[in-house]
Each structure stands twice: as C-alpha cells, then as structure tokens.
Amino acid sequence: MSDRFRMMLGQLNPTVGDLAGNAQQARAAWEAGRDAGADLVALPEMFITGYNAQDLWLRKAFQLDVARHVEELALACAEGPALAIGSPWVEGAQLYNAYLILKGGRIASQVLKHHLPNETVFDEVRIFDAGPLGGPYSVGNSRVGSPICEDAWHEDVTETLAETGAEFLLVPNGSPYDRGKFDVRMSHMVSRVVETGLPLVYLNMVGGQDDQVFDGGSFALNPGGALAVQLPVFDAQLAQVDLERGPEGWRVVEGEKATRPSAWEQDYRVMVTGLRDYCRKTGFGKVLLGLSGGVDSAIVAAIAVDALGAENVRCVMLPSEYTSEHSLEDAEAVATALGCRYDYVPISGPRAAVTETLAPHFEGLEAGLAEENIQSRLRGLLLMAMSNKFGEMLLTTGNKSEVAVGYATIYGDMAGGYNPIKDLYKTRVFETCRWRNANHRDWMQGPEGEVMPVRVIDKPPSAELRADQKDSDSLPDYPDLDAMLEILVDRAGSIEDCVAAGFDREVASRVEHLIYISEYKRFQSAPGARLTTGAFWLDRRYPIVNRWRDGKAG
C-alpha cells in the first residue's frame, strides 16, 4: 500500500458555457498532473460548465452537450491519473450538482451534492435535486471523500464520509468573494477537520462571472486544524499537494503558504478582476467612460486602466456651463496620470437644441429636475454613440450610495454595460482612491504612484447639474448616509435600528423610502462587481411595486 498520495489542484478560471475551453483547461491540468506523477488531478465545482450557470443548467441541449464533453475528456485522460471535475449530472428525470471521477476512459464514480444553497447569489434548490448522503470513492489504494462546497459546511456529510472509510477530504468549490468570506470558510473547514480527524484540501476556482468574482485561496488543513498549504487569492495556478501516511493516518505535507492581502486590496482586486473578465469573456477589448473630474469616475478610470491597460481606455469629458474649471482640470489630470486617451465633447450645443425643442411644451413651467437631467441624458446619448462607433463598452460610474437611493439619472449617467463600483459605498470610494494612490501590485496594468490627484478625493461631491450644486443638498452627508444604508441594505435592518444607532427617525425613514422607490432604476442598471452579501442584484431581491414602509401601514 502506497504511503504517499499526490494531488494536482487546478485553481483555475472557467468560463460559463465554454465547454470546449473549460475541457481544454481540464486536460492541460491533467497533463501537468500526469507529468508530475499525481494520483489525482482535481478541479473545482461545476468546472466543465463554469459557475454560476443559472437556468442554463436546465436546458436539455446543454446537458447533452456537457455529457459529450465529459465523455470525450474521460477518453482523452484514460492513461494516467484520475481526474475529478465538477459537472451537472442527469439520472432519469433528476439533475444533480455532481463531482465526477474520470478513470480508465470512463466516469468511474460520481459524488452528488446533498445540501443545496438557497441564499444570497445561490439558487440551487430551484435548479438541482438533492443527492443522498454518500461514501468515499477510490483512487488507487486510497479512499477520498469529496463534500461539494456547501456540503462541507454541514457536519452530517463529512461525518458520513468519515464513518464509511474516507481517509482524507477533498472539497471542490465554486465560492465567490465577499468581504470576510475567507475567514468564514476557514472556520467551517477547521470544524470539519476537528470533527472527523481527517486532513482536508479545500479547492476553489478563480475569475469573474457577471457580478461575482471567485477568489481562489485554496488551502489544506491537517487534523487539529493546522494550516499546511495556502494558495494565493485570485491567481490561477496549478499546485501540487502531497499527503503522506504515517502511524496516525494521512497528513498533508507542508507546502506553500501565501499571505492574504488586506480587505482594501482584495476589494480593489475584485473590481479589477471583475471588469477584466467581464470584458474578456463577453468579447470587449476596450472601454470608455465619462470622466467628470469627480472621485467616482476617477476610481472607475483607474480600475479600467489596471484591468485592461491605458491603451484600451477612453475617458470623455462632457462639460456643460455648470462644469467648474476645477472639474475640467481634475478630469484631464486623472486621464494624464493614468496615460489613457482623453476626449473633450461639450454638451452646450445639443442641450440648447433640446431646450429649444421642448420650449413650447415646457412654457410657463418652472425649470427644475427635468432640465437638469437633460444634461445627464445627453451625456449618456453621446457616450453610447461613441461606444457604438468605436466598439468600446461604456462603463457607468455610480457608487453604491447613489445606486441605493436613486441619486442617478436613468438613461443618463446610469447608461453603460458594467459598473465596477456598484457595491462600493461613497465613503469607501474615498478610501479606495487613497489606497490605490499609495499601492501598486504586479496585477495592475496602470502606473504606480498618485493616479488620482488629492483634490479630486477631497473636494465636496457634486453632480454639477446646476449652479453651486452639492450632493449634500439632496442627501445626508455620506458618512451618515452610508451608515444608515449599511443598516437598512446590508443588514436588512429597521428604522428602529437606525434610531438606536443615533440617527433621526425622519431622516432614516426618508432614506428607506428612497431605497424602495429606486428599485425600478436598479432593475435596469448595469451589473457590477459584488463585494458584499448586500450587493444589489441577486443578493437582494425586492419587488419594484411596493407600498410597504417600515412602521407605516401599507
């Protein structure tokens, strides 16, 4: 009986629906494992389809195509190590989230996910059937237990595996990033190791998919919970992990132990990775954005340059008569510091034409919000025209505070295909700008140093749609607003919770009202990088028509 077991872990980046491309990645990983003398090459949950494929998994034609690619992969990887890969699995009328073990040219074993997550971005209860509690599978003379993602968060699955002879655990995951998620994962996995007394290898995928970014960070634990291996977060890589059998059973051999970055760096990398993969996987090579001279568009420009390179980013200043000289100077300074193209497209002419066209219909009515929003919508129109002409995806630049309370113009500054800062509150925008100015990493394609002038960060925020306008004219100051939004949105708290935190009841009620009446705008808004479990899209699902308010009759 062998006293050593070698795994090749594929912490890799699949693309949803790219069955051939994902299978090619799997085969390359298998070949690397074969050359390294691996017993098992392991890939993450649902790797063949990519995660999260949502209702695509339910299509019969898709299921048949998946089966064909898996069978071809099994034949191609017949002579060498076993290959473990996540895939949908159909048995009769039932569809499972499965982990397939390919050996000798066929599907030798399958593990069926038992606990199906049905919260935040996950909707597996609606899509998959729950598999039974099962036992381990054999690879050579060793017995491996593979609780699939959520199954490792529940002790019944790992307990059953241990009782039925599993010698160590391999946990395949499709687990997306949110702030603090890594510590939660580690806590659960340590619990499973302590309960079972078995070593555990946690394997996660990397890369962006719509609003979600999978952060990797795969690791291995020995009995007692001691960390033996820690792979870097966000980086795609193949990693060899060895286990040795001694008098007390299997133990993971000490290996790489990467340092985990700060939360600020991880958030920023999620926004960069999310945009980079969104563009790469949808076929956009270049982007453009309206650069106003404000902090939101400045950080989006920096993210875009770090994701795609300065040569692939176009910044456009679209001034009106309300645009200050400071804004003109600051916008150009940001574009210059980042090294990207800067176009100047004034909107005064088009605005005059629209005003003249509407004058007979608006006669006798006081000028107000409608006239202000004409400016924003003209900018959206001109930016979309440039997007169409040059084949560059338009980025929208609204932060989470604005998205939450509807402080944005639908079909205006909300126009665009992707919003990198959609889940970043305004107060965090300021700090993220400061972090990027002070830090540079090798995964950033932009320049080092101060790429956003301090004046851009420090000046009072303004939409500049009328004379002397400030955001604080319409909203509470951002530190107060963001604190209330964190209670009402991220924690699904109440008006009473806001009052208990020291906020005025009337102000908190108004903020809550703005959140609810802005749902129709968010329903039509661009996707953006998910940083928290309170992100707008799949994490938080509310009706557009909704008369209920906290503390009041509906």
pLDDT number for residue 503: 97
Can you tell me the mean pLDDT for 84-105? Answer: 97
| φ, ψ of residue 247 in degrees (nearest 5) | -60, -30
Can you tell me the mean pLDDT for 240-246? Answer: 96
Can you tell me the mean pLDDT for 464-490? Answer: 85
Which of 353, 348, 349 has its CA nearest to residue 319? 348
Q: What count of other Cβ atoms lies within 10 Å of the Cβ of residue 34? A: 16
Tokens of 100: 């397939």
End position of a domain, from candidates 410, 439, 471: 471
**Alpha-carbon distances of 97 from 54, 149, 513, 539, rounded to whole Å:** 12, 10, 40, 21
pLDDT number for residue 79: 95
d(CA 517, CA 35) in angstroms, rounded, equals 59
**Alpha-carbon distances of 343 from 126, 332, 346, rounded to whole Å:** 48, 9, 10
Residues 271 and 364 in one domain: yes
Which of 36, 56, 32 has its CA nearest to residue 46? 56
pLDDT number for residue 552: 75
Residue 300 scores a pLDDT above 50: yes
Residue 504 scores a pLDDT above 80: yes
pLDDT number for residue 2: 64
Domain contains 85? yes
Q: What percent of the chain shows pLDDT beyond 70?
A: 98
Can you tell me the mean pLDDT for 133-156? Answer: 96
Q: By three-state DSSP, how is residue 387 classified?
A: helix
Confidence category of residue 463, pLDDT binned at 50, 70, 90: low
Can you tell me the mean pLDDT for 508-513? Answer: 96
The reply to whether omega before 52 is within 30° of 0 (cis) is: yes
Residues 247 and 368 in one domain: no
Which of 114, 143, 150 has its CA nearest to residue 131? 114
d(CA 517, CA 547) in angstroms, rounded, equals 9
Domain contains 525? no
Domain contains 480? no
Residues 265-286 pLDDT 10s: 999 999 999 999 999 999 999 9
Most distant CA pair in the chain, distance: 92
Residues 289 and 360 in one domain: yes
Residue 495 scores a pLDDT above 60: yes
Residues 251 and 299 in one domain: no
pLDDT number for residue 466: 63
Looking at per-residue pLDDT, the higher value among 465 and 547 belongs to: 547
Residues 414 and 354 in one domain: yes
Residues 182 and 53 in one domain: yes
CATH assignment of the domain containing 325: 3.40.50.620
- For residue 227, the cross-strand partners are 221
Can you tell me the mean pLDDT for 339-355? Answer: 95
Q: What count of other Cβ atoms lies within 10 Å of the Cβ of residue 130? A: 15
Can you tell me the mean pLDDT for 469-497? Answer: 91
Residues 320 and 373 in one domain: yes
* Site of tokens 């499973």: 192
Q: What is the DSSP letter of 441?
A: -
End position of a domain, from candidates 405, 440, 471: 471
pLDDT number for residue 461: 74
d(CA 123, CA 205) in angstroms, rounded, equals 19
Confidence category of residue 120, pLDDT binned at 50, 70, 90: confident
End position of a domain, from candidates 471, 487, 512: 471
Can you tell me the mean pLDDT for 450-462? Answer: 89
The radius of gyration of the chain from alpha carbons, rounded to an integer in Å, stands at 26
d(CA 22, CA 107) in angstroms, rounded, equals 17
Tokens of 167: 């010698």
Residues 421 and 284 in one domain: yes
Residue 364 scores a pLDDT above 60: yes
Q: What count of other Cβ atoms lies within 10 Å of the Cβ of residue 221? A: 24
Residue 398 scores a pLDDT above 50: yes
Q: Which amino acid is at 440?
A: H
Residues 105 and 66 in one domain: yes
Domain contains 492? no
Which residues fall within 8 angstroms of residue 226, CB to CB, at 6 or more apart? none
Output the DSSP codes for 279-305.
Answer: HHHHT---EEEE--SSHHHHHHHHHHH
* Site of tokens 């497209």: 345
Residue 210 scores a pLDDT above 90: yes
Residues 67-88 pLDDT 10s: 999 999 999 999 999 999 999 9
Q: What count of other Cβ atoms lies within 10 Å of the Cβ of residue 520? A: 12
Confidence category of residue 322, pLDDT binned at 50, 70, 90: confident
Which of 272, 533, 531 has its CA nearest to residue 424? 531
CA dihedral sign of residues 426, 427, 430, 435: negative
Can you tell me the mean pLDDT for 524-544? Answer: 93
Tokens of 258: 């990467």
Residue 206 scores a pLDDT above 90: yes
Domain contains 329? yes
Residue 139 scores a pLDDT above 60: yes
- For residue 103, the cross-strand partners are 106
pLDDT number for residue 464: 62
**Alpha-carbon distances of 408 from 9, 101, 377, 514, rounded to whole Å:** 45, 50, 11, 12
Our count of domains for the chain comes to 2
Q: Which amino acid is at 317?
A: M
Residue 554 scores a pLDDT above 60: no
Which of 450, 297, 280, 425 has its CA nearest to residue 288? 297
Q: Which amino acid is at 307?
A: A
CATH assignment of the domain containing 86: 3.60.110.10
Which of 431, 421, 439, 436 has its CA nearest to residue 458? 431
* Residue 401 belongs to domain spanning: 264-471
Q: Which residues are catalytic?
A: 45, 113, 149
Tokens of 385: 């025209």
Secondary element (H or E) of residue 97: strand 94-103
Which residues fall within 8 angstroms of residue 396, CB to CB, at 6 or more apart? 289, 413, 414, 415, 416, 417, 418, 419, 525, 526
Residues 272 and 199 in one domain: no
Which residues fall within 8 angstroms of residue 551, CB to CB, at 6 or more apart? 494, 495, 496, 509
| φ, ψ of residue 544 in degrees (nearest 5) | -75, -45
Residues 346 and 276 in one domain: yes
Tokens of 215: 């952060």
The whole-angstrom distance between residue 498's C-alpha and the CA centroid of its chain comes to 28
d(CA 406, CA 409) in angstroms, rounded, equals 8
pTM given for the model: 0.95
Tokens of 117: 């997550």
Domain contains 395? yes
Residues 221 and 290 in one domain: no
Domain contains 533? no
